[in-house]
Structure 1
Amino acid sequence: MTDKTEKTALTPKTHTIPPARFSHGVRKGNILQVAGQVGFLPAVEGEPPTPAGPTLREQTLQTLANVKAILEEGGASWDDAMMIRVYLTEVDHFAEFNGIYDQYFASLKEVPPARTTVYVGLPKGLLVEIDALAVLG
């Protein structure tokens, strides 16, 4: 059994090895930080990452699935999420994103997590990035 206070890197089977020296997620004790995730489809060995599609909806739903996979890898769920940070490439996507986000989290049993949204530049074709901070019971 591992020491719960030791820092553990989290990489679900659906994710590729990060392109630089960072972890997709890290858990230490009851704190779990998910690194910024984008809407790449599950990894296929030997293939470059592929976005879920060109639309904000496709990329947002896949990005949320990628964040969820890391939460689950660390023993957490959306109900453990305290903070979600959203990075959008277009100000005009804010209202559409809110609609997708609200629909996705409509079944959340707990108080919804806090959220920050900022506008950034991402690699060409990527529209959204999301990270999360969770505290496990």
Structure 2
Amino acid sequence: MKRNVIFTENAPKPIGPYSQAILVENPDKLLVISGQIPINPETGEIVKGDIREQARQAIENLIAILEAAGATVDDVIKVTVYLRDMKDFEDFNKVYEEYFGHSKPARAVIEVSDLPKGVKIEIEAIAAFE
């Protein structure tokens, strides 16, 4: 499988830990991960706290699903993030960069009016791998 970062000067440069686009040639497997919210899988409880704590748990949940399928963060090609408050973007982005800063999948961040169980964040992803 070939994973290529697409970049053109004819579109805006990325302003964070993401790429304009990712081109994947001949993936053997395509994994579509449903939105993950900050639920602690051991307790079933929502992680209380600020956006950083909630983002970290949502990403850890996403990583657990990737690993269960035989994939890694490096296989993620697209991430969609839903935030209840765009004012949390900078703090969220710092946590996100810890996990995805080296692989920089394509990404969209969207502010929404509400999320399940009143959480601050939900993250879904697509991965392609061999």
Q: Any idea what SS the aligned residue of 2:47 has?
A: coil
Match of 1:32 in 2: 31
The structural deviation recorded for 1:125 is: 3.3
Aligned match for 1:116, one of 101, 108, 117: 108
Tell whether the 8 Å contact from 1:54 to 1:125 is kept in structure 2 after alignment: no
Unaligned runs of 5+ in 1: 1-28
Q: How does 1:12-51 map to 2 (within 5 A)?
A: 30-44=29-43, 49-51=44-46
Q: Deviations over 1:75-110 (max 9, x none)?
A: 11101000011000001111111112113334x3xx
Separation of aligned partners in 2, 1:90 and 1:124:
15
Tell whether the 8 Å contact from 2:73 to 2:99 is kept in structure 1 after alignment: no
Greater RCO structure (CA 8 Å; 6+ sep): 2
1:71 aligns with 2:70: no
Q: Any idea what SS the aligned residue of 2:56 has?
A: helix
Paired residue type of 1:59: Q
The structural deviation recorded for 1:38 is: 0.2
Tell whether the 8 Å contact from 1:39 to 1:128 is kept in structure 2 after alignment: yes
Match of 2:119 in 1: 126
The structural deviation recorded for 1:131 is: 0.5
Separation of aligned partners in 1, 2:98 and 2:61:
17
Q: Which structure has greater strand proportion? A: 2
Aligned length: 102
**What do you get for the CA RMSD once the two structures are aligned?**
1.5
| TM-score, reference length from structure 2 | 0.72
Aligned match for 1:95, one of 87, 90, 101: 90
The structural deviation recorded for 1:51 is: 1.2
Q: Any idea what SS the aligned residue of 1:51 has?
A: coil
Unaligned runs of 5+ in 2: 1-27
